[in-house]
Amino acid sequence: MANPKITFIGAGSSVFAARLITDIVATPGLDSGTFALVDIDADRLDLTRRISEKVIQASAKEWQVVTSTDREELLPGTDYLVNSIEVAGLDCVQPDYEIPFKYGVDQCIGDTIGPGGIFKALRTGPDWLAIVSDTARLAPGAVVMNYTNPMSILTLAAARITDLSVVGLCHSVQGTSRLLADLLEVPYLELEWKCAGINHNAWFTALSHRGTDMYPRLRKRAREPEIYERDPVRFEVMLHLGAFVTESSGHFSEYVPYFRKRPDLVAKYARAGYRGESGFYARNWPQWREAGAAHIRATLNDDVPLDLDRSHEYASYIVEAIELDRPVEIHGNVSNDGAIENLPAGNVEVACRVDAKGVQPSRFGALPEQLAALNRSHMAVHELVVEALLERDREKARLALMLDPLTAAVCSLEEISRMFDEMWAAERPYLTAFE
């Protein structure tokens, strides 16, 4: 009978940790085990402990919860490690957005690529690599699931220093495939599709329903004004480049040089919220964080109902597949060992089979060249940031920013270098690993 130990690093992100713990508890056959919760913020950690215990009590299952602010205390015996750390986010979310904006680099989210994403990697990477090293030493058999952005950079960095099984997990493939079924007005379970690329830049290269290609219908629907308005950037990309992409319009608009390099283009293609609003993440994330904690407290007080349903996040399916040998297909972020033939040996997002043998990437083949080219431009940035992290080399991080597609479309090399130095000065207290 499965009795795994699942350790959450960054468990103080109480809404997300509670979501994954609920998923695992809701999984048939996963009836007992240990949730080991780790966070450096004792108050937020305690909030997660309380909601976890409430979920377990409601399920009548036999899971146990242990907590610590010291990961080395709880890592031994870990079968699965879930990473959701946030390093200096509250202090740096404003400079991540405001300094680049002074130079004309207009970000909507800015946590995965571009100036904001690169600096988030520089802040987060050293702590993440220390976690990976400790896990390899204290729990060498653990399966490591990384949920922290920038996904591709952090997962690639981990793969470079360890033989642990490391997979980066996101929900953009699950969410977008369901969105496409809705747009095409077909039952989700009847929609057949193939998807591959890199995180937030993975491409639905095939869509069919009962043997019929659905792309002609999707292109037709994209030309309907009320449908187009739901996702302007993604529809523009599909209509011109041939495939629908996994990330939302606002976030994806930051990944390419076409939509945010001039104010008139931002006005034409950006919409409110996740569809492209300037500074959307910087202005709202601190409030979202507190609202999430308030929601957990309200749930603990029985002011809102306890959600015991299983979500589409992949973590519980991975644990189920390995512990109970129930094979499942996920889309994971893994090292590219030939999975996508025309992408380099970085981190890619592809279909993976998971069973008692672990996470096994599938071979996709080659992406259409125009899509692979967009992915390769980001993988070069990823590579330089990873080298900067592993070598503690500030100048390689500067070079990475110079290659960022949106930043390069807006700024000269000299301007990018000045932007980099200004961001470094503003965030220097959180970049001490490079000194």
3-state DSSP assignment of residue 65: strand
Contacts 24+ apart (CB under 8 A), 403-407: 403/377, 404/113, 404/114, 404/115, 404/118, 405/255, 405/256, 405/257, 405/374, 405/377, 405/378, 406/105, 406/114, 406/254, 406/255, 406/256, 406/257, 406/260, 406/261, 407/100, 407/105, 407/114, 407/115
349 DSSP β-pair partners: 197, 333
Helices (H), 26-88: 42-59, 71-74
Catalytic residue among 171, 240, 331, 382: 171
171 is catalytic: yes
CA distance 400 to 389: 12
Tell me if 267 sits within 8 A of 274, measured CB to CB: no
- CA dihedral angle for residue 90, residue 94, residue 100, residue 105, rounded to 10 degrees: 100
Nearest to 202 by CA among 233, 223, 158, 172: 172
104: left (phi over 0), alpha (psi -120 to 50) or beta: left
3-state DSSP assignment of residue 318: helix
DSSP, res 369: H
> What's the gap between Cα 146 and its chain centre?
8
Residues taking part in catalysis: 171
